Amino acid sequence: MENQFYIDSKYLSPDALTEKHRLETNPASRTNHMEYLPGMEVIESNVQSCVLEQMNSYDYSKYTADDVKNALEHESCTTEDFKALLSPAAEPFLEQMAQRARLETSKHFGNTVYMFTPLYIANYCENYCVYCGFNCYNHIKRMKLSMEQIEKEMKIIADSGMEEILILTGESRSQSNVEYIGEACKLARKYFRMVGLEIYPVNTEEYRYLHECGADYVTVFQETYDTDKYEKLHLLGHKRIWPYRFDAQERALRGGMRGVAFSALLGLSDFRKDALASALHVFYLQRKYPHAEMSLSCPRLRPIINNDKINALDVHEKQLCQILCAYRIFLPYVGITVSSRESSEFRNGIVKIAATKISAGVSTGIGDHESKYTGKETNNAQGDEQFEINDNRSLDSMYRDIAKEGLQPVLNDYLYV
């Protein structure tokens, strides 16, 4: 069914309500989430099968304290060591893991912490993902910024001192097509030294076009690597197709992107298996594309507007810290981002241990940087936020806080010649 007819409606039409109910209650009515749709590029790669095989066979209950001790004693961390460090048996060893992670971070990244901010330019979406505030059935205020509005937002952000931006859209090709995103990248190049994208997955040549427009790297959330749970959470739209989303980073690298970022949304499924799969996704692609810059993030579910259908599986801060430390020990050269979903206290602590990149001056709404950055009331219409953030600090505030911890805030370390 074409869902553009109700995506911007204040209330769902009777037909849309019927379709929504059918998708929720009748699994047989949904498209096969493992079969590509027309226009989706299929690439020849064994990474997907390698990750799924390891994740599906992972029995974290079998690991013991001795396995964890051995993993921490090894100079380099094997896949088996990593599995032990993610297991419940590693929880009593969190202090030792943190010490090892801190050593690895210092060795490869020094005392630097990179900073960036996201810019949402549209929140239209054609997917029905039951946990997401942007989903096409959610009654929220939709907005798409014009190029003039995008440039105004970018100038406000750049005037704050920020030098890296992450451009985001909802997943709607009809409202935010590749050309629209490309023009936004060209504008971003005027104001920022580093430009990232977090958009719907596209084909290799489209990634190549966006790179030529100015994009440096691509972030894609797999959400969950559990294909069965993925099917129950993504009921409609291109995002429903699990393997196409999985291969997005590899297509981006083939399209010339300098870097790619990976993530599962912790709490959607078994967080230990999702953490394992996320890291192995990086691990295998690192070996195929050793020149590429790769990074991981570790977001947890946050409250969203008009949603009571998803019950997050608890992932506590200690467990999140365990995952981040395990990531650093297993993948010492990989960047690790901790988003504003987490508290300022947690982020202040984790950048001293494992994380290397944080967002600042964050808004997940559309067109509201002027009011948030300057405090000036505007009459501009604003689009609703994707989720509630937890750390509202400005760039200046976060810069000072990082410096107080004896760390070096970095806004950019690239020179273009």
110: left (phi over 0), alpha (psi -120 to 50) or beta: left
Q: pLDDT value at position 275?
A: 98
More confident position, 117 or 7: 117
The single-letter code of the amino acid at 66 is D
Counting every residue written for the chain, the total comes to: 417
User: What would you report as the CA-atom Rg of the chain, rounded to the nearest whole angstrom?
Assistant: 21
294: left (phi over 0), alpha (psi -120 to 50) or beta: beta
pLDDT band at 334 (very low <50, low <70, confident <90, very high): very high
Are 405 and 348 contacting, i.e. CB atoms less than 8 angstroms apart?
A: yes
Q: pLDDT value at position 381?
A: 55
Query: Is 50 exceeded by the pLDDT of residue 3?
Result: no
Using DSSP bridges, classify how beta strands 234-236 and 128-129 pair: parallel, antiparallel or unpaired.
Answer: antiparallel
Query: Is 50 exceeded by the pLDDT of residue 4?
Result: no
Q: pLDDT value at position 7?
A: 46
What number of other Cβ atoms are within 10 A of residue 41's Cβ? 16
Task: Give the Cα separation of 277 and 36 in Å (integer).
Answer: 21
What residue ranges do the domains of the chain occupy?
A: 1-30, 92-410
Residue 115 exposure: Cα atoms within 13 Å on the Cβ side: 27
pLDDT band at 70 (very low <50, low <70, confident <90, very high): very high
Are 191 and 155 contacting, i.e. CB atoms less than 8 angstroms apart?
A: yes
Q: pLDDT value at position 30?
A: 92
Choose among 194, 137, 187: nearest CA to 6.
Answer: 137
E-strand spans in 176-303? 194-198, 217-223, 234-236, 259-264, 293-297
Tokens 């390698």 sit on residue: 50
pLDDT digits (tens, 9 = 90+) for 213-271: 999 999 999 999 999 999 999 999 999 999 999 999 999 999 999 999 999 999 899 99
Cα 178–Cα 228–Cα 283 angle in degrees, nearest 5: 65
Q: Among 37-41, 109-113, 182-186, 376-380, whose mean pLDDT is lowest?
A: 376-380
Q: pLDDT value at position 15?
A: 79
176-213 per-residue burial string, b: 16 or more CB within 10 A, e: under 16: bebebbbebbebbbebbbbbbbbbbbbbbebbbbbbeb
Q: pLDDT value at position 19?
A: 86
More confident position, 298 or 51: 51
Q: pLDDT value at position 303?
A: 57
Q: Does domain 92-410 have CATH number 3.40.50.300?
A: no
